[in-house]
Structures are given as C-alpha cells and as structure tokens.
Structure 1
Amino acid sequence: MQWTSLIAIFGLFWVLSAFIVLPIGLRTPDEVEGHEVQTGHADSAPVNFRPGKVALRATILAAVLSALFTLNWSYGWVTREDLNFYGEMPSEDLGY
C-alpha cells in the first residue's frame, strides 16, 4: 500500500473518530450547578467543550483503527468473501 493511501485512510478514520469522541465528557448547563445561560446561547450548548482533548482522543482512536486496517490489508484476516452474506450471484442474473 502506498504512503499516500495510508494518509488518506488515516484522515478518513480521524474524521470518523472525531464524530465518535465528540460527545464524550460534555456537560450542558442543566448538568452544571450555578451556570446561567447567556443571551443568544442555546440551552443545549456544552459548558466545558475542549477541542484539544477531542482532537487528541480522535487522533489516538484513528491511529488504532488505521493500524488495524493496515494489518488486515497485509495479513488478510477479513476478506471480501468473508463479508459476502448472500452467497455468489449466478452469472445469468447479471443482466448485461
């Protein structure tokens, strides 16, 4: 696999990981005692959003997922045939 493909795969896993870890640890004003919502802010807006922590968690998770993907690519643990749950399609049903 080329290094540019590895970077692209890591980037895709990073975006996916960022959305997965984004809500972890966030607290709304209802959950924090004594916090008043200022005018113009949504009631559901998080009080303690830390983008640095989200980026770090997403990077770690993306690195693990990318490593597993690369190892699967190299050793072939899970192949396309393993994911074919419907069986082989007969050649006469292809329609071309």
Structure 2
Amino acid sequence: MKWTSALAIYLLIWAFSTFFVLPFHGRRAEDDAVPLIDGQEPGAPARFHPLRILIQITIVATIAFALFYVAYINGWTNPDVLSGRA
C-alpha cells in the first residue's frame, strides 16, 4: 500500500471516528446547573473542550486504522476473500 493511500484511508477513518466520539460529550448546560446566556440552546454543551475531543478522535482513529492495516497485511481485506470466491 502506498503511503498516500494509507494517509487517505487514515483521514477517512479519522473523519468517521467523530461520529463515535462526539456522543460521549453530552453534558448539557441544564445538567450542570450553569446559568444560560441569552440565545444559548439549553441542550448545548456546558463546557466545550475541542483539544480533548480531537485527541480522543485521533486515538480512536489510530486504533481503527491499526486494525485495518493488520487486516490488509494478512490479506483479510482482499475482495475475493470477502466475497467467498477464494
């Protein structure tokens, strides 16, 4: 696998990892009894930590890519194997 292909696959997995990580950051302002600012959505996060979220997304994506790469090296992602023709 070329390094550019690996990078593209990693970035794709990284983007999809956001859908796994973000639901775990659901502390609402209502839950923390933080006073709302005019115009603030009550369901919005009370405290937003983007660096922490980016680090968690990167960790999840790196683990998922490592699993994919092991499967690629062992030939488990071969289309013939996946379709049952091999």
TM range (shorter): 0.7 to 0.9
User: Contact conserved, 1:10 with 1:62, CA < 8 A, in 2?
Assistant: yes
- The answer to whether the aligner puts 1:21 opposite 2:18 as a matched pair is no
In structure 1, C-alpha distance between the alignment counterparts of 2:81 and 2:31, rounded to whole Å: 45
Structure 2's unaligned 5+ residue stretches are none
Structure 2 counterpart of 1:9, one-letter code: I
Structure 1's unaligned 5+ residue stretches are 89-96
2:44 aligned partner: 45
- The answer to whether the aligner puts 1:57 opposite 2:56 as a matched pair is yes
Equivalent pairs: percent with the same residue? 34
Which structure has more helix as a fraction of its residues? 2
The 3-state SS of whatever aligns with 1:73 is helix
In structure 1, C-alpha distance between the alignment counterparts of 2:9 and 2:42, rounded to whole Å: 36
- TM-score, normalised with respect to structure 2: 0.84
User: Contact conserved, 2:10 with 2:65, CA < 8 A, in 1?
Assistant: yes
Q: How many residues align?
A: 85
Once the 2 structures are TM-superposed, how far is the Cα of residue 82 of structure 1 from its aligned partner? 5.4
User: Contact conserved, 1:27 with 1:46, CA < 8 A, in 2?
Assistant: yes
